[in-house]
Amino acid sequence: MRKLTHEEIVTRQGRKLQEPRLPFSIILNNIRSLYNVGSIFRTADGAGVEKIWLCGITGRPPNPRISKTALGAEEHVAWEYRDDSQTVIGDLKKRDYQIVILEQAAGSCLYEDFVPTPPVCLVIGNEIDGVSQSIIQLCDAAIEIEMAGLKNSLNVSVAFGIVAYHFRKNLRNR
């Protein structure tokens, strides 16, 4: 085993430019931290997300704090800003998207037991308040990450990364 050279990594990237993105979008609803937004952009690029909807108070590019953690990913993942997540969800439902929230909610299941149906949109809520009840009512499913420690949640960008790669695995195998 050996570490890949820079040339080998660049060659891989060239091949990836020709691969289509997955039928997987995300809504960032009122994310406070621009660093979290940037980190989610970077992970979304790696997981093959086709579009990010930035809603409410969620910051948007260009912004140096987003760029610091996105490392250029904000230039490669399609994104759009909308004031209201509910309108985006309504529009996506008209296009037969399955809307899934990452939230501790009554009736939620563990993310690893959930199989997304494409096209799918994952809703990520505010770092403190999570996803609002008005949005929860519009969703088709709720998933959560089992917590073994005393804290009851993970950072939103970390939680997104866990679920994004689970979705990627399931969507690539279809």
Amino acid 18: pLDDT: 65
Amino acid 173: pLDDT: 80
Whether 28 is covered by a domain: the verdict is yes
Whether 6 is covered by a domain: the verdict is no
| Residue among 102, 96, 105 nearest 114 (CA) | 102
Collect the ranges in the chain with pLDDT lower than 50.
none
Whether 4 is covered by a domain: the verdict is no
* Domains contained in the chain, number: 1
What is the three-class DSSP state of 82?
Answer: strand
Amino acid 61: pLDDT: 98
Residue 144 and residue 136 in contact, taking contact as beta carbons nearer than 8 Å: no
Global pTM reads: 0.94
Whether 11 is covered by a domain: the verdict is no
Whether 139 is covered by a domain: the verdict is yes
Whether 109 is covered by a domain: the verdict is yes
Query: Other CB atoms closer than 10 Å to residue 113's CB: what's the count?
Result: 7
Amino acid 12: pLDDT: 81
CATH number of the domain where residue 95 is located: 3.40.1280.10
Q: What is the dihedral of CA 30, 111, 158, 146, to 10 degrees?
A: 110
Domain that holds residue 135: 20-172
Whether 110 is covered by a domain: the verdict is yes
Residue 71 and residue 42 in contact, taking contact as beta carbons nearer than 8 Å: yes
Whether 7 is covered by a domain: the verdict is no
Amino acid 11: pLDDT: 82
Amino acid 17: pLDDT: 67
